């Protein structure tokens, strides 16, 4: 006896429907708002969560496209091959700005200040020494965070109605 899942965009909810027979054509109405002909969704499956694992919502980088990040790193490596003096703080500052453009990240306040100073020619090691223990901060958003447009584009997961309806 199959159970099918259907999504209602008006309620932003997934509903489960029990069918006494296989019926891949049925499209029920929403049991909550009565929207007609819901869209069938692939069924969920169970996953185990390790202890202490945080919800994605607590992760400031949840939704970051890892393939985009990989591509950004590869592009930067190619671009850095063409740089004559890799020790030049101005080149390092340009590289950090380019990294943000390519990766979907923007610099936090502290990183922005540091890059601005490198672009002015200040020595990166001196800047790191000046930051001292603050560089060990766990607040990564002081250094990098998702661009507002990327963060705003993150879709929240639909609610799941745990009741079983009949098709």
Rounded to two decimals, the pTM is 0.47
Q: Up-side HSE of residue 78: CA atoms within 13 Å toward CB?
A: 5
CA separation for the pair 51, 61 (Å, rounded): 20
Residue 150: the pLDDT is 47
Give me the long-range contacts of 29-32 (CB less than 8 A, separation at least 24): 30/6, 31/161, 31/163, 31/165, 32/8, 32/161
- 86 — alpha (psi -120 to 50), left (phi > 0) or beta? alpha
Q: Could you tell me the CA-to-CA distances from 49 to 14, 38, 62, 127 in Å, in that order?
A: 21, 30, 16, 40
38-85, pLDDT tens digit by residue?
988 876 554 444 444 444 445 555 556 666 777 777 777 777 776 666
Mean pLDDT over each residue of the chain, to the nearest integer: 76
Give the tens place of pLDDT for each residue, 92-115.
Answer: 888 888 887 777 777 888 888 888
């Amino acid at each position: 006896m199959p159970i099918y899942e259907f999504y209602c965009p008006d309620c932003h909810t997934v509903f489960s429907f029990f069918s006494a027979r296989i019926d891949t054509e049925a499209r029920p109405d929403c049991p909550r708002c009565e929207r007609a002909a819901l869209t069938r969704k692939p069924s969920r499956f169970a996953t185990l969560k390790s202890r202490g694992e945080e919800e994605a919502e607590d992760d400031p980088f949840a939704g970051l496209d890892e393939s985009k990040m990989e591509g950004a790193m590869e592009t930067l490596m190619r671009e850095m091959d063409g740089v004559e003096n890799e020790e030049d703080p101005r080149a390092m500052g340009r590289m950090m700005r380019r990294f943000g453009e390519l990766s979907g990240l923007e610099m936090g306040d502290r990183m922005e200040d540091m890059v601005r100073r490198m672009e002015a020619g200040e020595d990166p090691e001196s800047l790191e020494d000046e930051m001292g223990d603050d560089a060990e901060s766990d607040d990564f958003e002081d250094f990098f965070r998702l661009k507002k447009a990327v963060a705003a584009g993150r879709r929240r997961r639909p609610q799941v109605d745990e009741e079983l309806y009949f098709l």
